Amino acid sequence: MKENERFILDIKRLGINGEGIGFYNKLAVFVKNAIPGEGIDVEVTKVLPKMAFAKAIEWKKVSPSRVEPKCMYYERCGACQVMHIDNKKMGEFKREAVIEALKRYTKLNPSSFEIKPTIVMEEPYNYRNKSTLIVRREMGKNAVAMIEENSNRHFAIKTCLVQDEKINEINAKIIALSNHLDIKSFGCEKYSWRYLVTRVTKGTRESLVCLVVYKYNEEIAKFADMIVKEKLADSVYVNINADDKTHEIFGPETIYVGGKKSIIENIDKYKFNIYPTTFFQLNTKQTEVLYAEVKKAAKLTHQERVLDAFCGVGTIASYVANVSKEVIGIEYNKEAIEAAKENLALNKIKNVKFYQGNTAKLLPKLISKDLTFDVAIFDPPRTGLGEDVLNTIMKSNIKRIVYVSCNPSTLAKDLAVLANKYKIRYIQPVDMFPQTSHVESITLLDLKK
């Protein structure tokens, strides 16, 4: 195979980034915007030892699951990868992604336990409760911008279809105010304003705005005060990130400007404080679905000692507390633990304790020969549980594990280890991020007798 070579390619499955994958002389060929079942005349753009990339020239066979993307920026923006696929069919593909990961990374037989149909959203738009957008000067005016796919180039947008509509409205008003005040952003000489972070809660409809800047100068102070005065958001902050080489959004210092100190989000009957840097699930509606599935899998009867590892601001711990005897949460981030304790007071929960520190180091200390956990809920980052946590689990006698995963690949690798001691009962995929290739899942494991 050579670059610029053309041939007809039958698309067999989706890749982890939403690309269609076909095979030419046993070599995997990735094609953007292609759907399994399609036959496409493609042209090779890049050849590597174990894979190749091609662009679609002409569709010879079109999938009945193909739909017209609603977003005007879809071809340029890399944030959504599968807006061209019917939402229900994409749920099937996300389930297949979990199965494919198990086949690739384990010797487990996926048909030996239940992999349930993906729980999809009926309305898969305007679900994101937070936006983090770079601000740049475009034709003499400020604008929020996205990063063009596979590049470092930015392009201005007026709206985003997966963000809450109220976020789009707030962003537009703040950009208009910044232009009125001639606030300097990326593209201007000696600019300070870097990012606009906007949050809107689904339950209370409260809003929070945080301006991320290089320095908190007189211009930014006036701008932030005007946002408060014009009541463009319920809570206003400025975060200072002076490091021009980091890819991290937030810097170490956050300044409260005005309005409410925090906004409140509801998950079922529970309330949670949201601050500028608080980690919180981006899809509130599907989070309620996810947590309900976690509670169902845990099968709690008010008698169990429960672990919530990688607990963040304590959302899962709070959610299962009313059916548990005791819940212990572990989280590395100090700010998250402080927020978690606030949330316990907010919800009048008394049977939960939080420990700040590394799960790999704290978990062995919380498990002794005579004391372990009846149920452990793990919601790790994309990198998975890690070798140390896995070793601790394998030495313990935790009776039931509920594993919440945002990465099928690391889930599969972890299950390959856990399956030596635990029986996999089922996996429940949940579509937390419609229009993207990402899939969340809940796996129930029981200690083998």
Per-residue pLDDT tens digits for 107-162? 999 999 999 999 999 999 999 999 999 999 988 899 999 988 878 888 999 999 99
- The pLDDT-based confidence of 406 (bands split at 50, 70, 90) is very high
Domain residues of the chain, as ranges?
6-66, 91-122+283-447, 130-267
Distance CA 37, CA 294 (A): 34
Task: Establish whether domains 6-66 and 130-267 are of one fold.
Answer: yes
Average pLDDT over residues 245-256: 94
Residue 382 carries which DSSP code? T
- Given a cut of 70, is residue 369 above it in pLDDT? no
Helices (H) and strands (E) in the chain, counts: 9, 22
| CB-CB contact of 285 with 128 (8 Å) | no
Q: Could you tell me which of 142, 111, 117, 149 has the C-alpha nearest to residue 18?
A: 149
Centroid of chain to Cα 316: 16
Asked whether 397 and 445 are in contact (CB, 8 A), the reply is: no
Separation of alpha carbons 295 and 300, rounded Å: 7
Q: Which residues contact 333 (CB under 8 A, 6 or more apart)?
A: 279, 312, 356
Q: Give the mean model confidence (pLDDT) for residues 320-349.
A: 95
Of 427, 429, 403, 402, which Cα lies nearest the Cα of 119? 429
pLDDT reported for residue 149: 83
- Whether 368 shows a pLDDT value over 90: the answer reads no
CATH of domain 91-122+283-447: 3.40.50.150
Residue pair 142/185 in contact by the 8 Å Cβ criterion: yes
Q: Which residue type does 181 have? A: L
Query: What CATH number should be reported for the domain whose range is 130-267?
Result: 2.40.50.1070
Confidence (pLDDT) at 449: 84
Neighbours of 92 (CB within 10 A): 17
What whole-number percentage of the chain has pLDDT above 70?
A: 100
Predicted local confidence at residue 257, as pLDDT: 98
Instruction: Provide the CA 295 distance to its chain's centre, in angstroms.
Output: 20
Choosing from 80, 160, 311, 406, the catalytic residue is 406
| pLDDT for residue 371 | 81
pLDDT at 41 over 80: yes
- By three-state DSSP, how is residue 275 classified? coil
Q: Under CATH, to which class is 6-66 assigned?
A: mainly beta
pLDDT digits (tens, 9 = 90+) for 278-333: 989 999 999 999 999 999 999 999 999 999 999 999 999 999 999 999 999 999 99
- The two beta strands, 375-378 and 400-405, are parallel
pLDDT at position 116 = 98
Question: How large is the average pLDDT for residues 434-449?
Answer: 96
Average pLDDT of every residue of the chain = 95
Q: Which amino acid, residue 120?
A: V
Rounded CA-CA distance 414/403 in Å is 10
Backbone angles phi, psi at 84, to 5 degrees: -85, 0
Compute the distance between CA of residue 262 and CA of residue 273 in angstroms, rounded to an integer: 6
pLDDT above 70 (res 218): yes
* The three-state (H, E, C) secondary structure of 46-76, written as one string: EECCCEEEEEEEEEEECCCCECCCCCCCCCC
Is residue 80 annotated as a catalytic residue, yes or no? no
Helix (H) or strand (E) holding 131: strand 130-138
HSE at residue 344, side-chain half, CA atoms within 13 A, is 19
CA distance 30 to 15: 8
pLDDT above 90 (res 63): yes
Residue with tokens 């076909």: 22
Sort 364 into a burial class: Cβ within 10 Å, 0-12 / 13-18 / 19+: middle
- 189: pLDDT confidence band, cut at 50, 70 and 90? confident
Cβ atoms within 10 A of the Cβ of 375, count? 21
